[in-house]
Every structure is written in C-alpha cells, then in structure tokens.
Structure 1
Amino acid sequence: TLLHSALSWDGNLVEILPPLLTGGRVVIHPGPHRDPLTVAETVHATGVTTLFLPTAAFNTIMSAQPELLRNLRCLMFGGEQVSPKHVRTALTALPDTRLVHCYGPCECTVFSTAHPVTPADLDRPTIPIGRPIGDRRVHLIDPDTGA
C-alpha cells in the first residue's frame, strides 16, 4: 500500500493499518503528496498493489496516464461524486484491478460505505457509494422533513 496522504488526515489510516495488520508492506511516497501523477509514478515504480485516491486525484490520473496503475490489485477512490467517464477509463485500462468507490465522513474514520464497481454501473446516472461497511449503519435524511 502506498502512504501518500498527510498524517493529519484520517485517510492515512487505510494506507497504514491494513497492510501492517495483515503482513503487508507500506511504501512511503517520497514526492509531493498533492501531485496525482507523481503518486501514480511511485505506484508504477515500486510495485504497490493497493491504493486509495481522493476522487479528484483518481480523475486526474484516469485523464492523463491510467496505465501507471496497472500493477494495482485494488484501487479505492472516493470523497466526492465520481465521473462515470473516468470510471469507464479505469475499467478499460485496469481490467485486472478491483475498483471500489468509497464514502465516509471523517467522523467515521475513513470509509462508512463501499461499492465494488462493475461495468453495469456505467448504465447508471451516478456510481453508487455502496453499502455500509462492518457494523456501520447509514441513515438517509430528508432535508425538508428531517426524517
């Protein structure tokens, strides 16, 4: 897993804890953390197999050089609504990579929901944010009634 998130952001927990708790390895990104293409180049050069990207970074890499992520077994992305166009690019360019669209406010520490992306999702107007993970529960509140 590539550690490229700021240590002040909860996203780094998914980059540090799962690999260390399961016998994996954490590769620390040496470059500027905010440059998505530098992150993708590090993934390519180091053989990283698991990566989380904020949606904006995912979109940037899919627009410029998606082939840099071909080594990945799992690519998680989320934080805002994702573009079906960029998901289509990922499904085509990364056929052996599991794509997971994630969502979760920082109060839940990284992800609350996850959705494994499939080609069928491209027929939807948006890519789903998925179902609750673990013991989490999701409540949809009507903004007009509060119920």
Structure 2
Amino acid sequence: IYTSGTTGEPKPSPYATATWPPWPPTAASPAVCATGCCLHSPVAFDAATFEVWGPLLTGGCVVVAPSRPLDSALLRRLVRDTGLSALWLTAGLFRLLAQDAPDCFTGLRQVWTGGDVVPAAAVRRVLAACPGLTVVDGYGPTETTTFATSSALTDAATVPDTVPIGHPLDDMRVHVLDGRLRPVPPGCPGELYLAGEGVARGYLGRPGDTAARFLADPAGPPGSRMYRTGDL
C-alpha cells in the first residue's frame, strides 16, 4: 500500500500476508456488511481494503459504484437499487455531502469517515437527518492501513465539539509518548504512536525512513514495533 505522498513522493508500505487485512473483521459489523458495502475508492487507496475485505470477510457483498464522483444523487440511487448499508468517505467528502444533502445517507446503517479531522457540525447534521444511522470516525494512517482506532456516534445531541478518534481496534495499541518515548500523564500533550498487528513492516527500499518512523514498542511483546504518527 502506498502513502498519500504528503511529502511529494508516495512511499510503499509492505504488510505481512499472515495479518492481512491489517484490521480485524470485527471493525465492520457482519450485520452491516451482510447487505452491502460500497466500493468507490481507487484500489490503490488504503480505504479500498475496508470496502472490499470488510464485506467479503463477513459474508457480505461489495457494491461497486459507477466510475464517477460520488454525490448525493448517486448515493441515494445506490442505496435504493442495491440495498447498500455501509460506506466509507473521506472527512472532506463527508462534510460536503452533509452540507449539500444530510438526508442522502438515509437507508444506510453505518458511515465510516476519516483521513482528516471529522467536523462535528457535519456529524450532527447527518445524524439529525438520518435516525438509526451510526457515523464512525475511523483514524489511522496508511502505515497502519485504513484504521487503527474508531469512535461510533449515534446521537446528534451528544456529539462533542471535537470528534474523538475513539479506542484502538482489536489487536491494536495506542501510546501517547513524550520525546523520550515515555507515557505522558492524562491531559498532557504527547505524540501518538500506533502498535499492533496492523502496523506495516516499514517502507520498501527506504531504510532511513523506516528507522525514523517504525520503532521498537517498549510496551509490546518482544520484537514488536510501533509507528510514529507525528500527530499530537
């Protein structure tokens, strides 16, 4: 899987096939994916792993969207014609759809969104317009492929002003550490490190970048590593 290339040059991140996909099937409820999960991301984008393997590993089906930008009209048609029940959107696209037509998610059971800060106002608008829907903030860089943590939101009235990234998925660990890799006290700033089965092996052919970002996990089993996200 390639990173998005925020430095101008995407970096390949190999994964062990024994742990693929690098998030557990429980990250996508079987009851949700049994109806259908939408594949609209490019297959080189890490979100496609969720869109393909989420339903296939839980007895569901992949609903392949037409090869054009996803808008509210297309989403309504997919839900109506295919029984689509689960969807992944970048935080930016989720915000645009929430502003344009917050009720376009009616009929879905889950919408996963992330890749950037998820706007609380957008979540509130969508939940208020779509009773029964769950909006999930899924956090995780490409180096932990697709998701490392998640936070499920179901009630517009209880959505906080800052949408949390939630708790680690199964087989993942989250550390908030200082510059000497020591845990910081609650309420103190620190850098976020991700560890567990979903962490990539490093960057292919880039030993320097790998050494800088993939470190030994002091709280994990022998030989385990953690990824330095750069997020505070």
TM range (shorter): 0.7 to 0.9
CA distance in 1, matches of 2:134, 2:46: 22
Unaligned runs of 5+ in 2: 1-36, 182-232
Q: What's 2:32 paired with? A: none
- Work out the number of aligned pairs and report it: 143
Percent identity over paired residues: 35
The two structures, once aligned, show a CA RMSD in angstroms of 1.8
Q: What's 2:216 paired with? A: none
Q: What's 1:6 paired with? A: 42
Of the three residues 24, 28, 37, the one matched with 2:72 is 37
Structure 1 window deviating more from structure 2 (13-22 vs 126-135): it is: 13-22
TM-score by length of structure 1 reads 0.87
* Match runs of 1:119-130 below 5 Å: 119=155, 121-122=158-159, 124-130=160-166
CA distance in 1, matches of 2:99, 2:113: 15
Of the three residues 100, 110, 115, the one matched with 1:74 is 110
Q: What's 1:139 paired with? A: 175
Distance 1:107 1:38, change over 3 A: farther
Q: How much does 1:22 deviate? A: 1.7
Unaligned runs of 5+ in 1: none
* Match runs of 1:22-61 below 5 Å: 22-32=58-68, 34-37=69-72, 39-45=74-80, 46-61=82-97
CA distance in 2, matches of 1:39, 1:133: 31
Q: Give 2:78's aligned amino acid.
A: V
1:113 matches 2:149: yes
CA distance in 2, matches of 1:90, 1:136: 29
Query: Which structure carries more helix by proportion?
Result: 1
Structure 1 contact 5–11 (Cα < 8 Å) conserved:
yes
Q: Deviations over 1:30-55 (max 9, x none)?
A: 131x4443652443343210101110
Which is higher, the Rg of structure 1 or of structure 2? 2
